[in-house]
Structure 1
Amino acid sequence: MQFDILWQQLQGLWLYDPKQPMLFNSGTFWLLFLLFLAFYRYLYHRIQARLVYVVVFSLFFYYKSSGWYVLVFGGLIVLNYYLGLWLSRLRVPDNRRLLLTLGIVSNLSFLLYFKYTNFLVQQIFYLMGGDFERLDIFLPIGISFYTFQVISYLVDVYRGEIAPERSLLGFAFYLSFFPQLVAGPIVRARDFLPQIRRPITFDLITLHTGTYLVLKGLFKKAVIADYLAQYVDIVYSNPVGYSGFENLMAMYAYTLQIYCDFSGYSDMAIGLGLWMGFHLPENFRSPYQSGSITEFWRRWHISLSFWLRDYLYIAMGGNRKGVAKQYVFLMLTMLIGGLWHGASWSFVVWGGAHGLGLMVHKWFVAQTPARWRESEVGLVLGWLLTFHFVAVLWVFFRNADFALALGSLWQIVAHFDLAFVAPFWAARPWVCVMLLLGFTLHFIPHWFKQEALAWFVGWPLIVKIIFWVLVVQLIIQFQSETVQPFIYFQF
């Protein structure tokens, strides 16, 4: 009997479980990752062995996250490797343009099928007046991220900005690198491919920086985000059943939750990369400190923001074709960015509203003297307006059901009563603590955060171990019954 139990547990380590996909914040991942590191330390200095070893583990990681859809992912790796080679060999401009178009369409076809089939079919049934039953289509984790990543690779090869990767193994390493595979950052080939064959040398500062980022990411995700998620889920399951104040707190809670969830993943991805000797780009820079919606998009999901700028906005014409067209390009870019996040009208509204916000801000900057915008009152008003503009739109992002999102906002506007403040504190003290703690940590000045990193790096090993134990204990104390998936895994 004990042998059977042990065998089942071992199978759980190696076989995909659709009910429990492997996540960075799960015990299964950390057990397997520690085993991975134990062998990696003997292989990392041998380039070919390192490439093979990391690719095999990355594909295994994806299998544990998405099951046999790893075969689809493997097919995309092979397809785009040869597309990149063919693009570099063609000399006739029309042929190169045709091959690039076919490459982009081929990659987008997978994304469109898995992510948007149900949405498109539902719209057709709605127009025809028929009933629609969702098709049983599984969305492979991370497909939006690696689709955008490989499109940027093909476009850069087409433009001659990078040479194609000559080795299938090297290309597989780039596209499947497991720390950022399923939720970014979206890594440009020009930044990552040069790293894969460089000799790796480890120093204590880099390793301790990676440890700091992993700890920070775990705390943000598994303590703050996951705890707030429990309250957010309750309210948004039936927002009209809660008061305006409770809906307002849910809005603030989700605003913090999605930041801590996604930036926590990015912190862990960057930290794991540093442990392995690779550098991934920064993906968040205290976005809620932004004084304008334009600044917000330079700080939030930076790798996606710059991808949309470089491969959509500028490709359409950017600011080179007059103000009117610039506004149109901004709106189209953000609408596509909204649809990239999800197949529902709520995401379209979310993206369109951000596009409108960017248009209004550009008009405002052109019409308003800098001394007004940069005065103390102007800076405070700019931050206050930007923060609440973003927070209100998160309500639509969180609720795929448009009626639920409007219902929540209506409760805030029409049924807000400060009499609920004291009962809310009494009933949900830890929600209040997490909100206060999360936003306080977020609004710490950047220079102080850099100092905190320097302090951590300089502390003795025993202090770092104590911090590990403390974070693990906090996770155990505040965790829900099941491991919470990362929000951006659904994209």
Structure 2
Amino acid sequence: MIEPSQLLPSLLSFLSTSDGSWSLCTIPFMAAFVAFFALYLVFCKERRSWMQLYVVAFSLFFAFKANGALMVLLPTTALLSWFLTPKMMRLRRGTPRRAGLWLVILIELLPLLYYKYTDFTLSIFNDLLKTNFALQHLFLPIGISFYTFQAISYTVDVYKERFPKTTGLVEYLFYLTFFPLLVAGPITRAGVLIPQISQPRPVSKELVDRGLWLIVCGLLKKGVIADYLAQYNNWIFSDPTAYSGFENVMGVLGYTLQIYSDFSGYSDLAIGIAALMGFELKDNFRFPYQSLNLTEFWHRWHISLSTWFRDYLYIPLGGNRRGNLRTYANSFIAMIVAGLWHGASGMFVVWGLLHGVGLVCHKFLNNHLLKRIPDNLAVRVISWSVTFGYVAFAWIFFRSPDIDTAFALIGNVCDDFTLADFHPFVMARPLWMLLLAVGLELHSIRESDYLWMQQRFVRFPWIVKFIVFAVVVQMVIHLSMDNVQPFVYTQF
């Protein structure tokens, strides 16, 4: 079990450094959150305004822990967005207000464009002109993509009069800096969070119990499955030619489960922590690897991002309202932009390109062929196999450091794959295989069965819930072996 003597030194270390190496799965963060939460409960009983200021202060400290001095970008973005959005709404309707909207969005985007895409743009410029101009390598502030997109969604929703322009400064700071969402989302709309800040409602026992369930699930996904699988996956993607084709396939399957467990685990932790604090947020994943086509996959994977692109890019481009060709083009553009959002790298563009082509092919076939095919078990098995295989194949380009590594891995699988390697692989890595099998099997359960398990957990006595939580934390500590992997999505 966790030694009590570890808590104070870990907490002091957590409070005194800002190197960006912390994780929600570590003892220092857990200790810091327990200390924060005790005072949070006191402020909630006294005055709501004190609670809001307290959460904003802790969130800014959290941002400092992640980014050091660059945390100043977060409150700066929040202040500019909050101040300029109502100013935009005072402009005359039509062209003046539309121009104001684009100006505010550009101001909100500038830090993201500078820190995330300057090096990438300069590298393209140097390749084209055969120059070697370069800036000092820029540190990408953690979470900048997520809070930038939240700021833009607020501005656009106010412009379209879907959300009032009267949000107070403290409430808006709370919304944009809310620490559970800061590192890797989920991207939360103003209409979901701000009303819960400004119009509090009693915290229900059911919400708190669901929050604890999500935290347990998040710790299992991230701290047990994702972190352990990552250690082998990193070897494969560092040098795929050093391993057999079968080992490469297992690395691809391992990363396919790792990125899901890592990111959905973080989302579970973020939504669960918010629930403990009395805020109800929307789910970000709905068993995406059960999808029977790519369109369904993007309705289930990273839902907050896919719906953001749908509402603020795909639909403004015309959506599916201007004929099939325009629909295909809009889907393709949205996926290319989604690839670039993940990172300033040609590999993310290739990943977005693959998903864009896949979506266009599915929409085209659905319009001309798929509707004629009967919906039976054999068709569903084939549909799932094609979809899962294509998604896993695309992850190769998402994870590989460069195109040569990706093609080396694919070539190695084509040239050197044999099932004879299965038995020695299992004998060499039994725990890794067990976690892979359990993770994939748990992902295959029906959503109704998952909700049943959640309800069973909610009905447990508090002592049982505490024991379950303690066992899970101990598993995380034991398997991490002081080698906790950073959350995959912190780099985006």
Q: TM-score, normalised by structure 2?
A: 0.96
Q: How does 1:31-180 map to 2 (within 5 A)?
A: 31-45=31-45, 46-131=47-132, 135-180=136-181
Q: In the aligned structure 2, how far is the partner of 1:298 from the partner of 1:369?
A: 19
Match of 2:238 in 1: 237
| Amino acid in the other structure paired with 1:102 | L
Structure 2 contact 11–32 (Cα < 8 Å) conserved? no
Structure 1 contact 227–480 (Cα < 8 Å) conserved? no
Match of 2:256 in 1: 255
Q: Classify the secondary structure of the residue corresponding to 1:164.
A: coil
Structure 2 contact 240–408 (Cα < 8 Å) conserved? yes
CA spacing shift, 1:165–1:67, aligned 2, 3 Å: farther
Match of 1:278 in 2: 279
Segments of structure 2 that go 5 or more residues without pairing to the other structure are 1-5
Q: In the aligned structure 1, how far is the partner of 2:168 from the partner of 2:211?
A: 29
Tell me by how many angstroms 1:373 deviates: 4.9
Q: In the aligned structure 1, how far is the partner of 2:8 from the partner of 2:385?
A: 56
Structure 1 contact 334–355 (Cα < 8 Å) conserved? yes
Match of 1:366 in 2: 367
Q: In the aligned structure 1, how far is the partner of 2:12 from the partner of 2:261?
A: 32
Q: In the aligned structure 2, how far is the partner of 1:11 from the partner of 1:221?
A: 24
Match of 1:490 in 2: 491
Match of 2:29 in 1: 29
Q: Classify the secondary structure of the residue corresponding to 1:316.
A: coil
| Amino acid in the other structure paired with 1:35 | A
| Amino acid in the other structure paired with 1:44 | C
Q: In the aligned structure 1, how far is the partner of 2:258 from the partner of 2:79?
A: 37
Q: In the aligned structure 2, how far is the partner of 1:134 from the partner of 1:237?
A: 27
Q: Deviations over 1:149-171 (max 9, x none)?
A: 11111111111111124311111
Q: Over aligned residues, Cα RMSD in angstroms?
A: 1.7
Q: How does 1:51-450 map to 2 (within 5 A)?
A: 51-131=52-132, 135-368=136-369, 370=371, 372-450=373-451
Q: Deviations over 1:282-322 (max 9, x none)?
A: 10000000000000000000000000011101101111111
Structure 2 contact 336–352 (Cα < 8 Å) conserved? yes
Tell me by how many angstroms 1:95 deviates: 1.7
CA spacing shift, 1:480–1:233, aligned 2, 3 Å: farther
Q: In the aligned structure 2, how far is the partner of 1:442 from the partner of 1:86?
A: 47
Structure 1 contact 345–400 (Cα < 8 Å) conserved? no
Q: TM-score, normalised by structure 1?
A: 0.96
Structure 1 contact 16–66 (Cα < 8 Å) conserved? no
Tell me by how many angstroms 1:374 deviates: 1.6
Q: How many residues align?
A: 486
Q: In the aligned structure 2, how far is the partner of 1:254 from the partner of 1:195?
A: 37
Q: In the aligned structure 2, how far is the partner of 1:207 from the partner of 1:247?
A: 42
Q: Classify the secondary structure of the residue corresponding to 2:208.
A: helix
Q: Deviations over 1:192-243 (max 9, x none)?
A: 1111022331232221111010010001000000000000001111011111
Q: In the aligned structure 2, how far is the partner of 1:272 from the partner of 1:200?
A: 17
Structure 2 contact 339–352 (Cα < 8 Å) conserved? yes
CA spacing shift, 1:375–1:44, aligned 2, 3 Å: same
CA spacing shift, 1:428–1:172, aligned 2, 3 Å: same
Q: In the aligned structure 1, how far is the partner of 2:368 from the partner of 2:51?
A: 56
Give aligned-pair identity as a percent.
Answer: 44
Q: In the aligned structure 2, how far is the partner of 1:368 from the partner of 1:98?
A: 44
Q: In the aligned structure 1, how far is the partner of 2:403 from the partner of 2:344?
A: 13
CA spacing shift, 1:165–1:187, aligned 2, 3 Å: farther
Q: In the aligned structure 2, how far is the partner of 1:203 from the partner of 1:74?
A: 31
Q: In the aligned structure 2, how far is the partner of 1:15 from the partner of 1:102?
A: 39
Segments of structure 1 that go 5 or more residues without pairing to the other structure are none
Tell me by how many angstroms 1:375 deviates: 2.1
